[in-house]
Amino acid sequence: MTYKLSSTLSGHEQDVRGLANSTIGDEPILVSVSRDSTTRVWNHVNTSSETDSRILFHSPTKSFINSVSIVKLEQSGEELVASGGQDAMIYLSDLYQQGVQEGEAVNFDQDGKYQLIGHEGNVCAMNFAHDEFISSSWDGTAIVWNLQEFVPKFVLGGHDSSVWDCKIVNNKNQYLTASADKSIRLWQGDHEIQKFLGHTDVVRKLLVLPGGERFVSSANDGTIKIWDLQTGRILKTLFGHDSFVYDLALLPNGNLVSTGEDRTVRIWDLSKGEQAVQVITLPCISVWCVTMLPNGDFAVGGSDNQIRVFTQDPARVAPQDELKAFTEAVQSSSISEQSLDDLKKTDIPGIEALSKPGKQEGSTIMVKTADGTIEAHQWSGGEWHKIGDVVGGASSTKKQTYEGQEYDYVFDVDIKDGEPPLKLPYNLNQNPYTVAEKFLADNELPSSYTDEVVWFLETNTAGAKLSEGTTENNQAQSPALANDPYSDAYARQHSSGEQPQVATSIIPETQFISYKEFKKDTILNGLKKLNQSQETSQFTEEEISTISGLISNLSSGDAVELILNYATKIISSWNTSSKLIGFDLIRIALGKITAHDFLGQESVAQTVSNSIESGLEIIDSSNATLFMMIMKVLANFIGGAGFIQAYIDPFEGDSTRYIYNATFQKILHEIGQKATALDSSAKLYAAAITALASFVYDLSTVQIKTTGLNSHSETSAAPVLDLVAKIGDTVVKSSGEAGYRLAIAYGNFKYIKAYPTNAPPSQWLNKWNELYASKEQRFNDLARDLTLL
């Protein structure tokens, strides 16, 4: 029997990122968390409603909440809801407390009944089983918690990147973790005892099967794998999803449910073959999460803010008008041609093709209707179901208009808290990184979202390409020249008629990478805690209050005061382990200071420079965290009047040409020494090296944008190129992303002829090319660019 829609639960204002379940008596309870910063409880899960939920918890920092779990305390018998997310905290709330009912102004505890403090990054997964509780984070660790004292019991550190999921295997202190480093690891206590390798991309989710002898994993490579826990052998690989597979759940009958980035929920019979037995398409792009309900139904949450419950029980199937509305919502979706499998861009059949059965459950076909519309249909439950109109494909003649211009795509991007989706126009002949940077700059969003926007563009236009030699108007032009007014090549050609140096798609890249976003409450909580631990030079309560006020407003004048009066006191007077927060205050302040204030108060730039020098002096091989923060300070310093004031001087008395001064050259030398001496096992090492590569990349953009540096780049860039040569091997060994940023910097310097014309290729660059160029399309594109320079 197939699953059908039972109910649709509306109430969240942004993506539903996590689900958990419990019961009251015999009735199932659903708990959900969202990017809207709330945790909600739903008591009537099989009845569609827009109001039948209560807010159990609201993040005090207004951060995204990404993970949820039900936790039962053995000693007290309390049943708690654990909410974890962006602010790195885990909040435990009483499931049965009365929070905020929709439409009522009821006070509730925003801090939860208990808090678990230990992670340093987004808490992306949690699991409670066998009377134990585990969480994992983007900080590269998983933590098993002591729920009697609410402190870490084991910290599982060893992954090279974010730990996307964690599971308790049994009551013998055995745990599983899955990571962006593509590995799954088995732990005995805090000791790694086995590594499982087989996925070719980020491993997103784990599921331990009954008995604990097998487990399931899903990944960004679109596959689901069943493993033998003891031998590490892959027993079966399930194929079907067209994109990332986000979540897994086990149904009472032993079938598996999976959700993904391809708009689908898929049901698998693990005792049979490797194809899904049912595929349900939803009217949203990302189906983020799934949980099995005690009554045998399952619920899924998606990027359209909705929770949908599906059932096999005829008594719980939604009314016909609701089923019809759901079908129409799916059918009215607009999808790209490139997101569908088994499709050809020519010879699209007519609707008569729907008279033939599909090859397998979930297969898709494109058909052309009598009026010329191209529709996508999916084979599910023994019949074809329309899943949307095909738009925006390279073979489609349809264009979308935005602000008077035609584009191949105009996406709705829900990326800014508390506001409607933003419009993201995109043509296939544009560099997605250039488009992403422009989009973020236009909407005053943090540059840290760049990779997310690029991933969104690449995922939703995968495989799409324009014909060579044509633009959207079919006018001939060089296939490598993007028709993008924010491209340097475009600007040169249209201002002077000059053709670009080479037909590159990425180089030059001149958008700064910065680290300006922050959470006020997180910084203040850390400041208060560290302040209390100082034997001398503590801030008074009045000073803490002043700092809080400065951070809240953070005008240019506030930012200057924050640096001169408070950050410098921390850096000069507090103990070494506490100095980090002083640099963090400088980091957030730098982006707010105007050129007028830098020029009017020369001491600001000098103070920042002195702080950077003093910070580098105290870094040892284990202190990657402080090194990372200083790199972020430098990245935020670059490009402003203060940076020029502190570090750039006229070259040999020529006011039209510039060079980095002795102070900055000393800083570059010190950075090279410290970076190559860092212990690769140190906490946040990978993040530190990525920040270093970002800083060097920003220097390459300064070199391009500053005419006085660019005019004799082989001389002015020499100190930076020395640093690149020194750190190249270290950066490449760290990660492909860090290597990518350094390689763009290298390309930018080559582009403006900062390297001698007879300079041999760098060995570190050859190594990066060998290790990573084939891993991602953007890496491959960059490698191609570099061969042309």
Q: Return the pLDDT at 626.
A: 95
Beta strands 383-390 and 334-335, pairing class: parallel
Sheet holding 234-238, edge to edge: 203-208, 214-219, 224-228, 234-238
Confidence check: pLDDT of 248 > 90: yes
Confidence check: pLDDT of 342 > 80: no
Q: In 3D, which of 716, 726, 725 has the Cα closest to residue 746?
A: 725
Instruction: Give buried/exposed letters for 241-280 (b at 16+ CB in 10 A, else e).
Output: bbbbbbbbbbbeeebbbbbbbbbbbbbbebeeeebbbbbb
Q: Return the pLDDT at 53.
A: 82
Q: Which two tokens stand for residue 234?
A: 């892959």
Q: Which residues have C-beta within 8 Å of that of residue 2, sequence separation ≥ 6?
A: 278, 312, 381
Q: Which residue has the tokens 């001064």?
A: 661
Q: How does DSSP classify residue 578?
A: G
- Can you tell me the distance from the alpha carbon of 613 to that of 619, in angstroms, rounded to the nearest whole number? 10
Q: Return the pLDDT at 649.
A: 87
Confidence check: pLDDT of 339 > 50: no
Give, in order, the Cα–Cα distances in Å from 722 to each of 150, 284, 499, 746.
Answer: 49, 49, 31, 12
Confidence check: pLDDT of 319 > 90: yes
SS3 label, residue 697:
helix
Task: Tell me if 208 sits within 8 A of 201, measured CB to CB.
Answer: no
Task: Tell me if 259 sits within 8 A of 246, measured CB to CB.
Answer: yes
The answer to which of 183-197, 266-280, 612-626 has the lowest mean pLDDT is: 266-280
Task: Tell me if 31 sits within 8 A of 19, measured CB to CB.
Answer: yes
HEC secondary structure over 599-634:
HHCHHHHHHHHHHHHHHHHHCCCCCHHHHHHHHHHH
pLDDT digits (tens, 9 = 90+) for 116-163: 999 988 899 999 999 999 999 988 999 999 998 889 999 999 898 889
Q: What percent of the chain has pLDDT over 90?
A: 48
- Can you tell me the distance from the alpha carbon of 613 to that of 616, in angstroms, rounded to the nearest whole number? 5
Give the confidence band of 445 by pLDDT, cuts at 50, 70, 90: low
**Burial label, 404 (beta-carbon count in 10 A; 0-12, 13-18, 19+):** exposed
Q: Which two tokens stand for residue 396?
A: 């489609």
Confidence check: pLDDT of 188 > 70: yes
The residue among 14 and 457 whose pLDDT is bigger is: 14
Confidence check: pLDDT of 639 > 60: yes
Give the confidence band of 343 by pLDDT, cuts at 50, 70, 90: very low
pLDDT digits (tens, 9 = 90+) for 29-79: 999 999 888 999 998 898 887 667 889 998 887 788 999 999 998 878 889
Q: Quote the mean pLDDT of the chain.
A: 83
pLDDT digits (tens, 9 = 90+) for 759-787: 777 899 999 989 988 877 788 888 888 88
pLDDT digits (tens, 9 = 90+) for 461-504: 653 433 222 222 222 222 222 222 222 222 223 333 333 344 56
The answer to which of 330-344, 420-434, 704-718 has the lowest mean pLDDT is: 330-344
Helix axis angle for 580-590 and 520-532, nearest 10°, is 150
SS3 content of the chain, % helix, strand, coil (to 5): 35, 30, 40
Q: Which two tokens stand for residue 594?
A: 């105007």
pLDDT digits (tens, 9 = 90+) for 252-283: 989 999 999 888 999 999 988 778 899 999 98
Angle, CA of 307, 311 and 316, to the nearest 5°: 95
Q: What percent of the chain has pLDDT over 70?
A: 84
